[in-house]
Each structure stands twice: as C-alpha cells, then as structure tokens.
Amino acid sequence: MRTPTLHQLAAAAAALLAIGVQAQQSAPAAAPAMTAAEIETGKKIYFERCAGCHGVLRKGATGKNLEPHWTKKLADGSVQEGGTLKLGTPRLEKIIGLGTEGGMVNYDDILTKEEIDIMARYIQQKPDVPPEFSLKDMEASWKLIIPVDQRPKSQQNKINLKNVFAVTLRDSGELALIDGDTKLIWKILKTGYAVHISRLSASGRYVYTVGRDGLVTLIDMWFAEPTTVATIRMGSDARSVDTSKFKGYEDKYLIGGTYWPPQYSIMEGDTLKPLKIVSTRGMTVDGEYHPEPRVASIVSSQIKPEWVVNVKETGQILLVDYSDIKNLKTTTIESAKFLHDGGWDASKRYFMVAANASHKVAAVDTKTGKLAALIDTAKIPHPGRGANFKHPQFGPVWATGHLGGAAVSLISTASDKPADAKYKQHNWKVVQELKMPGAGNLFVKTHPKSKNLWADLPMNPERENAESVYVYSLADLNKTPVKLDVAKDSGLPQTKALRRAVHPEYSQDGTEVWISLWGGKTDQSAIVIYDDKTLKLKKVITDPKMVTPTGKFNVWNTQHDIY
C-alpha cells in the first residue's frame, strides 16, 4: 500500500473541512415556535384556504411546494442555498398578505395580521398527514334520510326547475336554491363546507353537492320544498361528483373524487350507498411515484358508459367504464401533470382539461379512448368548464382563461360536420388570445343563444379588476371588451375587503347572466344579474343569508353541459 504524500493528506483534509462547512451552512433551522392553539388555527386555515392549490402534504400543484425544506431559513439565517430561495417568516408573511402575480390571491383582506403570522410559521412545520378513509368509514358516515319509496312520485311544486340556480354559500357551508324566474330564494340547505360544485342528475330532479370537507349531499327538488334525502362523507377533502348518464344507466351510479385520501368512490345514484373505492396513488407521467395524486374534475360521457376522471398530480386521465363495477375496466391516458378542471367541446366527444401548472390543455377523444392533443397555452389555464362557440375565422373553438396570464385562449376543436372540414388545419391549436387587463381569471362562459363571451378576474390583486367582469363580442373578437363594475352596480357600500365578481352563469334561455359578488364572511354579498343582449343591470339579489356566494349552477345548463 502506498503511503499518501503530504500534498494528498492536505487535499483530503481540505475536502473534509469543506464538507463540514457545507453541512453546517446547509443545516436547516428549527421550525418557528408555535403553541398548540396556534397549530390548530393554522391547520384549519390551511385546509380551508390553502390545501386546494398547494396540496394536503404541501407538495404543490397549481400553487408552489410549501414543504419545510424551502419555507424555512437555514440555521445560520441565510436565505439562499445553491440558488434555492429559503423563505422564512417575514417573507412568507408578505407573500400571504399581498399575494403574487402568478395567481395567488392576497389574504390581507381575508386573514388578520395575527392569522397571517400564524400561517407563515405553520407552513414551516412538518406537514400534518390526515387519516385514510375506507369503505367501512364511508358506510359509517352514510345517512339515508328519506328512502326512495318514500319520496314523491311527481313534482309537488310549481317551480320551473329548469331555471333554478344552485348557489354555493361558501363560508356558511350552505347551498341556496334560487328560482331563476322570480329571482326569489327558494330554499337554503346545509351542505358540506365550501361546496366546490353542484351537479344535476340526468333527470334534472336531484342536486348533488360536494363540500371541501368531503361531504356529499343529495337534494330532491320534487318535494314541496327542496329536501335533503341522503348524505355521505367520502374523505376529508373533496372536489368532484357526477352521475352515470349513458342511456340505460341514468343516475344508477354516482362517482365522487377526493383530494384526501387520493381516491375515487362509487355510490348508488339515488341513495348514496357506497359500493366501491379505487385509489389513485401511483406513478406520474414522468415515471415518479406520488403519494398524493388528487382527483380533480370528473365528467360523465353521454356516448359511452364511462366517466372521465382527471388525476391532478400524476397527469393521468382515467376513462372508467361503469357497465360492470365489480370488474372495473379503466383506460389510462397520459397527458401532463397538474390536471385541474375542464369541459366538453361542442360535439361532446372531446373532453378539454387544463394541466394548469404545466401551462397546457389536454384534449381527450372519448370515442377512441386516446389523447387527441396536448396544447401549450398561456400561464396556468383555469377554464372551469370552458366556453364553446363558433369563431368567424377558425370555426368551432373552446375557450379558457388563465390564473397566471392576461389572456383568454381560444383553441380550435375538431368537428365531424362536413361544413367544418375547412377548419381542420387549425384543430388543437390556440388560434387567438383575447387580451385581458391582467391575470387572475377563474371562469369564462357563453351560451348557444348568446353573442357574448363573459370572463371574470376575481384572483387579480387590483380592486378595479377583481370586482369587475369583461364581456367580449363574438361578432368582433378584436374589439375591446366591455368592462362591467359589478361591485358598483350592486349598490352595496364599498368595504376595505374586496368583493370579488366571480363565476358568470347563464339562465336556461341564455338571456341573463348571473354574477356572484363574493364578499367577506361578515360583509354583505350579492348576486348581480345582467341582460346578456344589452349588458344592462336587471336585478340584484341580496339578503343577510347570502353569505359568500361563489359558484352558481343553472339546472338545465348543468344537466346538459351547456357552456
């Protein structure tokens, strides 16, 4: 064996010293001190306000990764390591309070200074891992309040159910059913916290809601007054439900997707009796294992007995055949990571879904069971269901707005109609971008009988944008959109907190557009209704019981996927 030279020994010693220094510099700081009460407050706020974008385990999706390895400063107080920014409490407080240009809303008008301080420290702690939720847990939570044979055999009221609006009252954990003809609140019912969506049965009789606390509520509108007939909990965080709509299976099954645990559940459509749970944990399209692949949007096909299930973190789109749920057949389509929401194209053959943090839209051909295209868009597309119309130059298009980009993207969609063959060269391309005054759009909407496209900007940090909507003329899309100041039109006094104008929704006949004016929990909110043709104010629905209205779902349009 050779004896090392003095030079070699010195070099080895220097290398060891360098490793020691690097280890010392890279040592993470201890998490900031928090009391047990502060941790509980942080846990509650994180679930209610943050988990949807950043994930229960804080691994990120639409929002950034918030794990402690980069939210905490280093032990020596430095905020930079190998080009990676380490945030620390003061910077986190600024981000939470003021928001970001990437689409994160400012919380200085939602949370107190004390709560912002708690959140800045809470997200430097090790993430809490919620418990799993099994079929037995679902069975234990299931409440069949009124069996099917004890429900009405025909409609027991004179309400025009086709034009009823199901309105989420986010922070009160309620759903308001509003008569679209009279503009009167028909009934307010308790539901899960912060209902994410309302879906309609194939028949239009039942309303299904799912709260962010995982509670599914089944409401029967054939009673003299709307009545909750069943409830069930699917987990601790959920976003999506839909029924079976293919001929012969109408409302036989209900599927629900959860953010936690990452799985989807199948239930009886008219009772919510739990039947099956399927986990979505697995590999991403990049070939990496992910422990929290959340189920984002789910839609029901009308051309096959299938659901389209979009798994956010993995980028996998599942076509779930429900014709035999004992022997479930699933087609897995690779797209792009961070799938979120989307809707059908005009033909109802192609499902368009945003892979938002990948800045792409995936088009799924449900007839062939394959990916038709993966389309690059502006930053963080967020379509809701999107909007379908015929472009004067490019034919059938589907529109999406963006949380992170100041544009509405119009994507040419394929059509089997002979008259649309001349547009084929444009298919699956962004053919036009409509300029918006800033980023922060959540929803775009139109209607087959409308000549307008409506877009909101509730996540924009500027009051003049967040409290307004923008209306484009489909006859001349190069024309500057008309700005409608929804907050001003409501007649409500201005408050320090923003009242965000959100979620345009058409009436059944396409003549009216309803906008939620979403204030703070202690501020008066409203539904502001415009004439779609003249853009003139028609009606303001406001009531002390209208607490934080957000999503609104017209029965007919939701039932038939009209957007």
* The residue to which tokens 């990437």 are assigned: 102
Q: Is 104 a catalytic residue?
A: yes
Q: Which of 196, 290, 382, 426 is catalytic?
A: 382
- Count the neighbouring beta carbons within 10 Å of the beta carbon of residue 33: 7
User: 282, 293 in Cβ contact below 8 A?
Assistant: yes
CA geometry: angle 458, 464, 466, nearest 5 deg = 5
Which residue bears the tokens 């014709």?
323
Residue 359 is among the residues annotated as catalytic for this protein: no
User: Would residue 138 show up in a list of annotated catalytic residues for this protein?
Assistant: no
CB atoms within 10 A of CB 148: 12
Residues 138, 196, 267, 340: which is the catalytic one? 340
Strands (E), 312-392: 316-321, 329-334, 339-344, 350-355, 360-365, 370-376, 387-391
**Sequence-ordered list of residues with C-beta below 8 angstroms from that of 94, at least 6 positions apart, any chain:** none
Among 378, 385, 428, smallest CA distance to 403 is for 378
- What is the residue type of 541? I
Distance CA 156, CA 152 (A): 7
Contacts of 272 (CB under 8 A, 6+ apart): 142, 144, 216, 218, 230, 231, 232, 254
Catalytic residue (choose from 54, 196, 290, 426): 54
For this structure, is 290 an active site residue? no
Q: CA-based diameter of the chain, in Å? A: 99
CB 318 within 8 A of CB 311: yes
Tell me the C-alpha to C-alpha distance, in Å, between residue 230 and each of 142, 207, 211, 437: 8, 11, 14, 44
Distance CA 562, CA 343 (A): 10
| Burial status of residue 264 (CB atoms within 10 A of its CB: 0-12, 13-18, 19 or more) | buried
Residue 519: strand, helix, or coil: coil
Helix (H, G, I), strand (E, B) or coil at 158: coil
Give the residue from 114, 33, 29 showing the smallest Cα distance to 74: 29
Catalytic, out of 53, 267, 436, 459: 53
Q: How many angstroms separate the CA atoms of 298 and 277, rounded?
A: 15
Q: List, in sequence order, every residue forming a beta bridge with 253; answer none if it has no partner.
A: 268
Q: What is the DSSP string of 175-227?
A: EEEEETTT--EEEEEE-STT--EEEE-TTS-EEEEE-TTSEEEEEETTSSS-E
* Catalytic annotation present for 560: no
Distances in Å between the Cα of 314 and the Cα atoms of 47, 173, 328, 335 are 22, 30, 20, 9
Other residues' Cβ atoms within 10 Å of the Cβ of residue 144: 16
| DSSP H/E element including 7 | helix 6-26
Catalytic annotation, residues: 50, 53-54, 104, 340, 382
